[in-house]
């Protein structure tokens, strides 16, 4: 498609991308809030390492359900309705966690929050990929990752500010999630529906109107012509087609990328900051302060990734991230082994490298590589596997760390080496290609 001839409404594109990416902010909130609240929860509910892992990881179990629900909702009712549902779930679950009077209720509420996280983690990048032109799609999808890390940083700052509010401070940490949830609900009410979905269900005039607002009449005509070649009728889409011979190679690559992004191990630094720094003698205040530093580095390097993803390409960034993390983990393991406070610098370096590479680029690739006819269902399957891997990682870390201590990071180093080889041999570059142009690149057809 000739993007140079189109008159793109960049402000409008950025606005709808940021609003839909507020789902990422809430993802970041629920992801990060546990790190600051965990020391208080351990005291409140007397958690051992198994319950500590399950309380942290149950978010992922809900997210798996959310991914499954999101795929069906997105296909039947549209991407916008799915985002609105996710926002409502976030608001309800935040109140549930804040008011829980026992561990069972808290875990159930966090599980429900996970349903909202799972829906948003699948629908936000899907929506952005479908409404943005190909030459800026990488940066726009990366906005979703940007809002995730903003959510992490803001949540860490709030957690730090609440540290002296007594043993019940954790209730405020969770309850304040109602504020961004409400803003997300208001924002989604303004969003247009995905033109690709509208065309898929026979609403061609509405699709053309939205595309014209994005890039003008010529862009709308070219886009509709391109979509016509790949979009099939709404009634024929099913999860069974995801596992068909024609598209399954691409699905396997998407699953591989999603699982690697989690099992590479970096999220133990986000979720278990207190555990890592307590083991080398940091106070509770210092542990919470480290979460703020981690959030700040995460944000700075995510912005850098947004500038690079459409210039350097997806594959080079993934390779640098995988190889670099493997090296850093070996250094971190050795510094933890001798109880050196200098480990903080290398943990921050690992966060920065991850934020520039595996974190945003995985989401970009997952939103791009699947054929139009199965995109929503295939993204749902890939993100479901991502959350399953996240649960495995967060549930097993407290157990592994209690037994292996610093040697746990050698396991993650090996995973990163395997991930490097996977990307090297299986992932192809997608930079600058339209979603329609990528039909067949990852499926071999």
pLDDT of residue 347: 92
State what percent of residues in the chain have pLDDT above 70.
92
Quick check: 1 pLDDT over 70? no
In this prediction the pTM is 0.77
Query: What is the rounded CA–CA span in Å between residue 122 and residue 426?
Result: 23
Query: What is the rounded CA–CA span in Å between residue 18 and residue 131?
Result: 12
Q: What is the mean pLDDT of residues 96-122?
A: 91
* 189 Cα distance to chain centroid: 22
State pLDDT tens for residues 151-169. 888 988 888 888 777 778 8
Quick check: 232 pLDDT over 60? no
Query: What is the rounded CA–CA span in Å between residue 211 and residue 220?
Result: 5
Q: What CATH topology corresponds to 3-426?
A: Growth Hormone; Chain: A; (1.20.1250)
Q: What is the mean pLDDT of residues 100-111?
A: 92
State pLDDT tens for residues 121-147. 778 888 888 888 877 777 777 777 788
pLDDT of residue 392: 93
| CA distances to 212, 237, 309, 352 from 250, in Å | 31, 17, 21, 29
pLDDT of residue 4: 45
């Amino acid at each position: 498609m000739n993007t140079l001839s189109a008159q793109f409404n960049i402000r409008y594109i950025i606005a709808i991308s940021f609003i839909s990416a507020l789902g990422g902010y809430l993802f970041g909130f629920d992801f990060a809030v546990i790190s600051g609240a965990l020391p208080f929860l351990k005291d409140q509910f007397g958690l051992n390492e198994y319950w500590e892992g399950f309380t942290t990881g149950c978010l992922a179990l809900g997210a798996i359900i959310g991914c499954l629900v999101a795929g069906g909702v997105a296909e039947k009712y549209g991407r916008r309705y799915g985002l609105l549902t996710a926002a409502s779930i976030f608001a309800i679950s935040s109140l549930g966690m804040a008011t829980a009077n026992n561990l069972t209720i808290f875990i159930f509420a966090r599980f429900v929050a996970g349903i909202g996280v799972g829906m948003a983690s699948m629908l936000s990048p899907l929506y952005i990929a479908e409404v943005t032109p190909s030459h800026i799609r990488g940066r726009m999808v990366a906005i979703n990752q940007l809002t995730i890390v903003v959510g992490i940083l803001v949540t860490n700052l709030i957690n730090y500010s609440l540290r002296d509010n007594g043993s019940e401070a954790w209730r405020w940490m969770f309850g304040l999630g109602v504020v961004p949830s409400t803003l997300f609900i208001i924002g989604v009410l303004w969003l247009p529906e995905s033109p690709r979905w509208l065309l898929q269900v026979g609403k061609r005039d509405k699709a053309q109107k939205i595309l014209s607002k994005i890039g003008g009449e010529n862009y709308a005509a070219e886009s509709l012509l391109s979509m016509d070649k790949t979009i099939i009728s709404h009634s024929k889409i099913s999860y069974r087609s995801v596992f068909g011979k024609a598209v399954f190679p691409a699905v396997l690559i998407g699953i591989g990328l999603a699982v690697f992004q989690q099992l590479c191990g970096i999220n133990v630094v986000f979720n278990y900051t207190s555990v890592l720094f307590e083991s080398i003698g940091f106070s509770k205040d210092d542990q919470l302060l480290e979460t703020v530093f981690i959030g700040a580095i995460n944000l700075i390097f995510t912005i850098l990734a947004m500038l690079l993803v459409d210039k350097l390409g997806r594959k080079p960034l993934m390779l640098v991230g995988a190889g670099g993390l493997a090296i850093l983990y070996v250094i971190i393991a050795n510094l933890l082994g001798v109880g050196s406070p200098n480990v903080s610098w290398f943990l921050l370096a690992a966060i920065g490298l991850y934020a520039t590479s595996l974190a945003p680029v995985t989401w970009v690739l997952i939103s791009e590589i699947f054929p139009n006819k199965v995109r929503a269902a295939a993204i749902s399957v890939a993100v479901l596997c991502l959350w399953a891997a996240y649960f495995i990682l967060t549930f097993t870390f407290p157990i592994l760390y209690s037994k292996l201590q610093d040697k746990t990071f050698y396991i993650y180093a090996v995973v990163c080496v395997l991930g490097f080889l996977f990307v090297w041999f299986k992932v192809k570059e997608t930079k600058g290609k339209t979603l329609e142009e990528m039909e067949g690149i990852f499926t071999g057809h």
